């Protein structure tokens, strides 16, 4: 599925200063029963966000109208656990286009890139600087610029460069996905398949 292009984003952020946020927290398994990719945002962080009777938990950040924005900022080792792409879908469907953390789990990071959500890995110091800035001023904005591969805390102009392969960067900038690429080299793939013994 081709996705929205990503070039530059300036937005206030939603802070989630918890480490090791696993994909079972992002979207619990019991909400993976859909056969289409829609509605997952309703259950994003379901068990942190709602009591079992369905009423919102007042102290969870998504229920606090002070915080909003298209950038989710999470603690170290964000997205560990299950390979469920539903976690990335839920984040996208809720309205986020970018996730910032000081460390990402592998599969989650791949899943985000494959659906057009940009994972931005920053240093632990920069991550803490964002959390502090947002604590002081919940409307503090962050700018993520894909072309220059920079992330900027706008209030202080503090800036860091982030890594992304030039292949993935171009994909995001153009809204292409890997299948577009692979279908273009199908004859090479078929030749290769002939050489596989099993």
Partner 1 sequence: MKKTLFDKVWDAHVVSSVTDGPDVLFIDRHMVHEVTSPVAFLGLKNRGIKVLYPERTFATADHNTPTMNQHLPVADALSAKQLEALEHNAAEHNISYWGLGHEKNGIVHVVGPEYGITLPGATIVCGDSHTSTHGAFGAIAFGIGTSEVEMVLSTQCIMQPKPKSMRIHIEGMPGKGVTPKDVALYIISKLSTSGATGYFVEYTGEVFEKMSMEGRMTVCNLSIEMGARGGMIAPDQTTFEYVKGREFAPKGCDWESAMNYWSTLHTDEGASYDKEIILNGPEIEPMITYGTNPGMGTGISGSIPTAAQTEGSKESYKKSLDYMGFSENEPLLGKKVDYVFLGSCTNGRIEDFRAFTSIVKGRKKADHITAWLVPGSHKVRQAIIDEGLYDILTASGFELREPGCSACLAMNEDKIPAGKVAVSTSNRNFEGRQGPGARTMLASPTVAAATAVTGVVTDPRTFTD
* Interactions with partner 1, residue window 68-87 (CB under 8 A): 75-77, 80-86
Q: Does residue number 187 form part of the binding site for partner 1 (CB under 8 A)? A: no
Q: Does residue number 173 form part of the binding site for partner 1 (CB under 8 A)? A: no
The set of residues, in sequence order, having a beta carbon less than 8 Å from that of 169 and lying 6+ positions away, is: 146, 149
Q: Does residue number 55 form part of the binding site for partner 1 (CB under 8 A)? A: no
Helix (H) or strand (E) segment spanning residue 119:
strand 118-121
Tokens 């292949």 correspond to what residue? Answer: 167
Select from 30, 58, 157, 161 the one that contacts partner 1 (CB under 8 A): 30
Give me the 107-146 binding string for partner 1, x by CB under 8 A, dash otherwise. x--xx--xx-------------------------------
Classify residue 35 by burial, with Cβ atoms within 10 Å: 0-12, 13-18, 19+.
exposed
User: Residue 78 is encoded by which pair of tokens?
Assistant: 């964000």
Q: Does residue number 37 form part of the binding site for partner 1 (CB under 8 A)? A: yes
CB of 156 to partner 1, least distance (A): 23
Give the CA distances from residue 81 to residues 71, 101, 112, in Å, rounded to whole numbers and listed in that order.
22, 16, 14
Nearest residue (CB) to partner 1, 88 versus 141: 88
CA nearest 78: which of 51, 96, 55? 96
Number of neighbours of residue 37 by Cβ within 10 angstroms: 13
Q: Which residues bind partner 1 (CB under 8 A)?
A: 1, 17-20, 22, 24-25, 28-30, 32-37, 47, 52, 75-77, 80-86, 88, 103-107, 110-111, 114-115, 165-168, 177-179, 181-183, 185-186, 188-189, 192-193, 196-198
């Amino acid at each position: 599925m081709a996705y929205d292009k990503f070039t530059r984003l300036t937005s206030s952020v939603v802070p989630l200063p918890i480490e090791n946020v696993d994909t079972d927290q992002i979207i619990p398994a019991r909400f993976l029963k859909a056969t289409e990719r829609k509605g997952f945002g309703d259950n994003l962080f379901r068990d942190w966000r709602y009591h079992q009777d369905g009423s919102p938990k007042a102290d969870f950040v998504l229920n606090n109208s002070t915080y909003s924005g298209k950038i989710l900022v999470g603690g170290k080792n964000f997205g560990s656990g299950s390979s469920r792409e539903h976690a990335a879908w839920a984040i996208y469907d809720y309205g986020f286009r970018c996730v910032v953390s000081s460390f990402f789990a592998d599969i989650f990071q791949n899943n985000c890139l494959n659906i057009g959500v940009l994972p931005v890995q920053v240093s632990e110091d920069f991550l803490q600087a964002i959390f502090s800035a947002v604590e002081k001023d919940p409307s503090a904005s962050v700018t993520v610029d894909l072309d220059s591969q920079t992330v900027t805390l706008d209030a202080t102009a503090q800036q860091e460069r982030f890594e992304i392969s030039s292949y993935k960067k171009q994909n995001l900038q153009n809204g292409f996905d890997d299948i577009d690429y692979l279908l273009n080299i199908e004859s090479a793939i078929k030749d290769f398949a002939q050489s596989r013994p099993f």
